[in-house]
């Protein structure tokens, strides 16, 4: 026993954060009513969720883009399974944009009609690991680790919210024909944000003027999000989730290849071996490093 049960709740072989989840919501997930114009952002944790949330808010809500409305991203693009604001989803105006970390097999039945859209963001799992390690030590609802080695063990064992990274991405990818889903790579968004926003607009069937497109790109850069209280989740993290220290945030580094500063040669080799074993023949490619600074 390593105290995992205190933090995680297993439901149908998938781990949720015990203190934040509502078991009734989980029981009813399958029947969660889906509208044709719903849009879901689905991710394994720490893969670019809040980034995608910000981009979609900017694409969909003019008042968000023009800064004429003062609504946090967390309220505009709420999590389906972690309904921390106790929203009545059935009363929300269309189009609804929802976020989720669920695996493919817990998806509401209505998503299989293939009308509602899903944007699945994925990121190289070594950067996910590092981001997750820092976040788990920061947020009180998550299990802290004494060191990276201990966290890596939990991550590779799937003893984290989201369970196994390998299963999450594989599951969604291998069942992609059951859904109306677009796969977007974090590192591509990092490399060329404008093209990524255009790709998203095309999938979402949203046409933006050049001026609006510029605004979306500008307001979704790491630096601009970090200094924007509506986008940086500071309130959400400190007041709703709770933090162990005062100096951490959701927008930590936002880079590609940070794992190189943290993993030892041995840890990296072990990770590679496990990655090869689990992701052999998997068609999506991952970007482990780009020279960006």
Binding site for ligand PPS (CB under 6 A): 43, 45-51, 127, 131, 134, 190, 220-222, 225, 250-254, 258
- Taking Cα atoms as reference points, which of 218, 215, 226 lies closest to residue 60? 215
Least distance to ligand PPS from the beta carbon of 222, Å?
4
Is the CB of 115 or the CB of 242 nearer to ligand PPS? 242
In the bound complex, what is the minimum distance in angstroms from residue 197's beta carbon to ligand PPS?
Answer: 12
As a dihedral over the C-alpha atoms of residue 256, residue 260, residue 263, residue 268, rounded to 10 degrees, the angle is 90
Specify whether the CB–CB gap between 184 and 200 falls below 8 A.
Answer: yes
Query: 201: closest CA among 215, 187, 191?
Result: 215
Residues in Cβ contact with 138 at an 8 Å cutoff, skipping those fewer than 6 apart: 237, 243, 244, 245, 248
194 vs 273, which CB is nearer to ligand PPS?
Answer: 194
Three-class secondary structure of residue 183 per DSSP? strand
What gap in Å lies between CA 183 and CA 177, rounded to an integer? 12
Catalytic residue among 64, 101, 134, 168: 101
Are 183 and 116 contacting, i.e. CB atoms less than 8 angstroms apart?
no
Q: Among this protein's residues, is 101 annotated catalytic?
A: yes
> Closest approach of Cβ 1 to ligand PPS, in Å?
26
Least distance (Å) between residue 177 CB and ligand PPS: 25
Closer to ligand PPS by CB, 85 or 253: give it.
253
Q: What's the token pair of residue 176?
A: 């992609």
Q: Which is nearer to ligand PPS, 114 or 260 (CB)?
A: 260
Q: Which is nearer to ligand PPS, 120 or 250 (CB)?
A: 250
Q: Are 203 and 119 spatial neighbours (Cβ–Cβ below 8 Å)?
A: yes
Residues pairing with 180 in the sheet: 117
Tell me how far, at minimum, the Cβ of 223 lies from ligand PPS, in Å: 8
HSE-CB of 85 using CA atoms within 13 angstroms: 16
Is the C-alpha dihedral spanning 2, 8, 9, 13 positive or negative? negative
- Burial status of residue 289 (CB atoms within 10 A of its CB: 0-12, 13-18, 19 or more): middle
Q: Minimal distance in Å, beta carbon 121 to ligand PPS?
A: 7
Q: Given the complex with ligand PPS, which of 111 and 129 has the nearer CB atom? A: 129
Q: Active-site positions? A: 101
């Amino acid at each position: 026993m390593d105290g995992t049960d205190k933090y995680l709740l297993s439901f149908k072989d998938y781990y949720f954060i015990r203190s934040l989840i509502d078991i009734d919501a989980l029981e009813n997930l399958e029947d969660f009513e889906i509208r044709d114009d719903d849009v879901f952002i689905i991710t394994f944790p720490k893969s670019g969720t809040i980034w995608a949330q910000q981009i979609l808010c900017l694409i969909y809500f003019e008042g968000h883009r023009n800064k004429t409305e003062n609504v946090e991203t967390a309220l505009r693009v709420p999590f389906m399974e972690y309904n921390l604001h106790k929203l009545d989803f059935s009363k929300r105006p269309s189009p609804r944009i929802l976020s989720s970390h669920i695996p493919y097999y817990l998806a509401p039945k209505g998503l299989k009609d293939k009308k509602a859209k899903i944007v699945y963001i994925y990121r190289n799992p070594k950067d996910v690991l590092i981001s997750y390690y820092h976040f788990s030590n920061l947020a009180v609802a998550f299990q802290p680790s004494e060191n990276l080695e201990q966290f890596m063990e939990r991550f590779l064992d799937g003893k984290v919210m989201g369970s196994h990274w390998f299963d999450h991405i594989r599951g969604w990818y291998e069942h992609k024909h059951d859904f109306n889903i677009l796969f977007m790579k974090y590192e591509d968004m990092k490399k060329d944000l404008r093209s990524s926003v255009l790709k998203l607009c095309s999938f979402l069937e949203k046409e933006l003027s050049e001026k609006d497109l510029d605004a979306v790109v500008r307001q979704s850069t790491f630096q601009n999000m970090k200094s924007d209280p509506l986008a940086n989740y500071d309130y959400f993290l400190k007041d709703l989730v709770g933090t162990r220290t005062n100096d951490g945030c959701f927008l930590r580094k936002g880079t590609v290849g940070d794992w190189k500063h943290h993993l030892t040669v041995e840890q990296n080799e072990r990770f590679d071996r496990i990655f090869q074993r689990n992701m052999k023949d998997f068609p999506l490619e991952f970007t482990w490093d780009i020279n960006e600074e």
